[in-house]
Amino acid sequence: MCGIAGIFSLNNENIINQEKKINLMLKTLATRGPDGSGYIFSKNKKLILGNNRLSIVDFSKDVPTPFYKKDTNHLLTFNGEIYNYKSLKNDLISKGINFNSKSDTEVLYEMLKFYDLNSLDKLEGMWGFCFYDNDNNKLILSRDLLGERHIFYTIEDNKLIFGSNAKSVLSIMNNPEYDYESVTTSFMYGSAQPGKTLIKKIKRLLPGHNLVIENNNIKLTNYRNINPEIYYDFINKNVNNKKIIKEHFINLFTDSLKKRIPNEAKYCYSLSGGLDSTLNCIIGSKLTYNKIESVFMDGNKNTKSGELNEKEASQYVANNISSNLETYIFDHKEASEELKNVADNCFDGCIDDGIAAFSILAKKIKNRNNKVIIMSDGPDELLGGYKVDLLLRKLDNLYSNKKFYLSFIKLYKKIMSQINVNYKAIEPFSYKPFKSKVAHQIHEKSFLNIFFNKDYIENIYNCYGNLPYYYDTSINEKTSMRSLSYASTSIPDFYNLRMDRSFMENSIEVRQPFLDINLVEYMISLPSYYKFENSNNSKYILREIIDDMVGEKISKRSKYGYANHLWDDEKVRKSLMINEQIGDSNFFSNGLFKKNIKDFLTNDNCYFGIKWSMLALLKTFSQLNKIKEDNRIFLN
């Protein structure tokens, strides 16, 4: 896992005197790859590539960074892991290809040389890479299907500039501008729409997409879709056999986790006492001979009467599998520092304060010499694990009686409008075309009228809770459509972006066994019964599996999520000085905002989460202005 960067000429002019720029880009990526750093020019001087390396596979110092072989006709800068690299390597050896290292990077390099873009169908893993064929002046940028890794890029002065985070690209732009059009989306969903950021002209490569430049032509294509239909025959054949459905789930997950357990680097598991992390740790304990190391971040969440709290549940599971559990507690000073750091660096459009909590965890496990953490994102999004998903499932059942459904919606909206309450899951919920509420949607569209002028939100882009244009919408069940929507948009460009910001910026690689594409497609394909048990229970199939393994103390626990908001602590709130910063900022002078916006935000009755969102947006705006001035001096 690494940080990558590059500058590529689009008009056949040579890339010269660019060492200073690539070094600055690599400096912004330094914590993503502390084990090695370097850059290289292509033979034709049309490209300069940079790479910072975090050694996970093959600790040898002899692996070139970026990667190349003797003739340097082909170059690769790679951020990610190829989990099936050993079997791919054997295939290539059988074709007469020789290897100089034990790294998965060299395997990817030879795969791309031999199979070109067809190699992507054979890869199992996560990646953001740039591969260059000097002989044909062909450049490929690629991002994995579930978007676990990220590539940000811009085109400026006839040059393509790209990097693993938005700041690396921003660091050498001539005149970067704040993108106010993305503000409403970040405010509403916690992240800018897929493909965009809070900086004009800086784009995110979409998940499952390649950007290919050949003969001065730029082509952006998706190389593969998520295909849950491959399991339809299996599901239809075994839909009434719960045992087979569960066994196949466990087999897919076990295979996925086995691939993601590092062979060389020190690693640990995140254990919260929830269903997902419990399965992670139980299966993990069976796959290794030694006790597994697990970590828990104590957020002091309140739990229902009679249920184990988060700490008790984590310890219960740890005891069950004889895991060494390390518990960490938030300190208000480090919480304040981390929140301030997050607010200053939301250039990619993700303003979720959870980044700070995960960042603290990353620092703590790094201090214990870990390089990898095995996390458990995925089931909540793909198996209907959120409260809103249960509500939407109940609406599905109502919709089956359309006449009753329409009467219900009409009455519900009338009642809600009279008591001045937003419509919750109703407002963004429809069937034709498909549109659904997502768990990370913070506000309703109608609520945005308080903050933003109507012209700016009238046509707000429906970027989450629907399906991208390149997906077929003929899936029969709405629950499967929502799962596919999460997998194609929310997981790559909210949840995975949050993980990347939190851990990779602290030199920790995140591995997510629930995001193996085979398992993802299986979870999406499951009929609603295995997700909701007749709308009464979320993640039903997973609860059944956990009940078999450790019993109902864990299987029947409610979902609580990861820790409290760090700003729930009064000391942390005061240290952020949000009211003062809002009052002093010229951020709100743009025509996007209502004139009385500052009065609303600085009022003591304004919910603090709203204040935080605006702080992240305005601090990023302020930092951008500083970077613009630094760039003006640096570039001239």
Report pLDDT for 117.
95
Query: Residue 209 forms beta bridges with which residues?
Result: 222
**What is the band of 474 on the pLDDT scale with cuts at 50, 70, 90?**
low
Q: Among candidates 311, 138, 178, 29, which has minimal Cα distance to 587? A: 178
DSSP class of 69: -
User: How many Å apart are CA 344 and CA 363, to the nearest integer?
Assistant: 18
Q: Please say if the pLDDT value at position 182 is more than 90.
A: yes
Q: Among candidates 34, 77, 39, which has minimal Cα distance to 56? A: 34
User: How many Å apart are CA 127 and CA 236, to the nearest integer?
Assistant: 33
**What is the band of 420 on the pLDDT scale with cuts at 50, 70, 90?**
very low
Q: Among candidates 376, 472, 394, which has minimal Cα distance to 437? A: 394
DSSP class of 495: I
User: How many Å apart are CA 466 and CA 429, to the nearest integer?
Assistant: 10
Mean of pLDDT over the chain: 90
Q: Among candidates 127, 219, 157, 165, which has minimal Cα distance to 7? A: 157
Q: Please say if the pLDDT value at position 172 is more than 50.
A: yes
Q: Among candidates 98, 26, 45, which has minimal Cα distance to 69? A: 98
Q: Which pair of structure tokens corresponds to residue 480?
A: 């499967």
3-state class (DSSP) for residue 210: strand
Q: Please say if the pLDDT value at position 434 is more than 90.
A: no
User: How many Å apart are CA 109 and CA 116, to the nearest integer?
Assistant: 10
Report pLDDT for 292.
87
Range with the lowest mean pLDDT among 136-150, 314-328, 419-433, 593-607?
Answer: 419-433
Strands (DSSP E) contained in 450-587 are 509-511
The 10s digit of each residue's pLDDT in 105-126 is 999 999 999 999 999 999 999 9
**Mode of pairing for the β-strands spanning 125-133 and 138-143:** antiparallel
Contact 393, 529 (CB under 8 A): no
Q: Which pair of structure tokens corresponds to residue 364?
A: 């703590």
Range with the lowest mean pLDDT among 263-277, 370-384, 398-412?
Answer: 398-412
The 10s digit of each residue's pLDDT in 529-554 is 999 987 678 899 999 999 999 999 99
Range with the lowest mean pLDDT among 204-208, 218-222, 290-294, 562-566?
Answer: 562-566
Range with the lowest mean pLDDT among 31-45, 151-165, 558-572?
Answer: 558-572
The separation between CA 519 and the C-alpha centre of its own chain, rounded to angstroms, equals 17
Report pLDDT for 455.
82
Mean pLDDT to the nearest integer, 33-42: 94
Mean pLDDT to the nearest integer, 276-300: 87
Range with the lowest mean pLDDT among 298-307, 449-458, 600-609?
Answer: 298-307
**What is the band of 132 on the pLDDT scale with cuts at 50, 70, 90?**
very high
Range with the lowest mean pLDDT among 138-152, 426-440, 495-509?
Answer: 426-440
Helices 354-366 and 332-344 cross at an angle (nearest 10°) of: 120
Report pLDDT for 137.
93
The 10s digit of each residue's pLDDT in 245-272 is 999 999 999 999 999 999 989 999 999 8
Report pLDDT for 421.
44
Alpha helices (H) in 321-401, listed in sequence order? 332-344, 354-366, 379-382, 387-399
